[in-house]
Chain A
Amino acid sequence: MLAILFAATALLQDVHTAVAMLLRLAALIMLALAVTLTTRPADLLEFFERLTAPLARVGVANPERISLGVSLVLRFVPEVFRRFQEIREAQAARGLKANPVALLVPLIVRTLKAADDVADAIDARCYPPPRRPSGGARTEENPT
């Protein structure tokens, strides 16, 4: 992916800009890796909840939803990668060479189907949680 971005930037602009962009992206990726390898997901989610708590007080955002969203992103990354590999292997087994469109279409369809199933699983476990006493009333059937 980085190589494609580098080549595209070098072609459309110049090599110096492409090198600068590549170094910036690499630094960001390293930083993200350092955070995810040294921080428990639970701590990361609690951080996001605290960070967005002031927004909840003014009614702009719901920290629990943001936290769940971040958690789902973390959860789906390895799974999307696994699905990508499964599709690639299935296509290679039938003699298909690497083809971005042939890979992406089934990957998107399968990921959306899985997202649908995960949404059912979230519903089945009574999401969303009842609002804390300080947060005001929330009815059972319309908790948001």
Chain B
Amino acid sequence: MTAPAGPAPGSAAEERHHAAEPPAPVIELQGAAVGYDGRTVLSGLDLRLAERRIGVIGQNGSGKSTLARLLNGLVVPDQGRVLVDGRDTRTEGRKVRSEVGFVFQNPDNQIVFPIVAEDMAFGLKNLGLPKKEIPGRVAEALESFGIAHLAERHSHLLSGGEKQLVALASVMVMRPRTVVFDEPTTLLDLKNRNRIREAVDAMAPAAVVVTHDLELVSGYDRVLVVHEGGIAFDGAPGEAVAWYREHCS
């Protein structure tokens, strides 16, 4: 079931549409199917994602996280293909990942280096940025998330909210055009959930947010409901959430 997708007049989403932001890359799924251990997780998905804020909701085990991983090539489809601005994630995964960042559910598993500033620099080194430019970019990213004071801290000693902000900053420092979030607020308290929500709302790149937090997607341009390995509903946030509550509670 689908409904026309698009920002409501006067909404925060519409304001973003009018702002001078770089266009989001177009992500196309063409008959994409994924299975694990003989079980079909996602079957024959055909989607075109070009909006700036897209929410993905659905029950546990419905295939949301696998869908998120398809979008930047962390998982490649068993059948069909996924294209990001025409680049196939199967053959150009590295290039796709430089355009599409990924924020994991558990920041403990995303932060690679023991010191925050080093972790931030990791992605930039991988992009081949000259060494002398890296400290400036790291400082700028930390400053923009209000966590400059954490630069020299050990990542394992940070609070859950600080870790998730560091994880987000370490992706944003690479200046991706789209960021995919896999349940970014699941492990957070209310205050930190709001901090992440504000950070996602304020950031310039497009975002695809997989979440169980139905409030998080309320101002988005489009929301997909994933159910039993397919897209059961695709439309405006209010209608999508209503469909989800009716059919999946």
Chain A residues close to B by CB (< 8 Å): 40-42, 45, 68, 71-72, 74-75, 78-79, 82, 114, 117-118, 120-130, 140-141, 143
Contacts and interface: CB of A to CB of B under 8 A. Distances in A.
Interface size class on chain B is: 35 or more
Contacts of A117: 104, 106, 109-110
Given A42-B115, A74-B114, A125 B128 contact: no
Contacts of B170: 125
B244 interface: no
B245 interface: no
Contacts of A129: 125-128
A126 B114 contact: no
B102 interface: yes
B104 A71 contact: no
Nearest to A71: B113
Q: SS class of chain A's interface: helix, strand, loop or mixed?
A: helix
B101 interface: yes
B199 interface: no
Given A118-B110, A120-B104, 11 more contacts: A41-B118, A42-B117, A117-B104, A120-B69, A121-B109, A125-B126, A127-B122, A128-B126, A140-B92, A141-B92, A141-B93
A140 B95 contact: yes
B113 A126 contact: no
Interface string B100-133: 0110101011111111011000110111100000
6 contacts: A41-B118, A68-B112, A114-B109, A121-B102, A121-B110, A125-B97
B156 A121 contact: no
Given A41-B114, A126-B127, A143 B94 contact: yes
B209 to A, nearest CB: 16
Contacts, number: 87
Contact of B174 (A41, A75, A125, A141): A125
Interface of B: 69, 72, 74, 91-95, 97-98, 101-102, 104, 106, 108-115, 117-118, 122-123, 125-128, 154-156, 170-171, 174
A125 B113 contact: no
A130 B125 CA distance: 8
Contacts of A79: 108, 156
A114 B104 CA distance: 12
A143 B155 CA distance: 29
B95 to A, nearest CB: 6
Contact of A78 (B94, B109, B156): B156
A48 to B, nearest CB: 13
Contacts of B101: 124
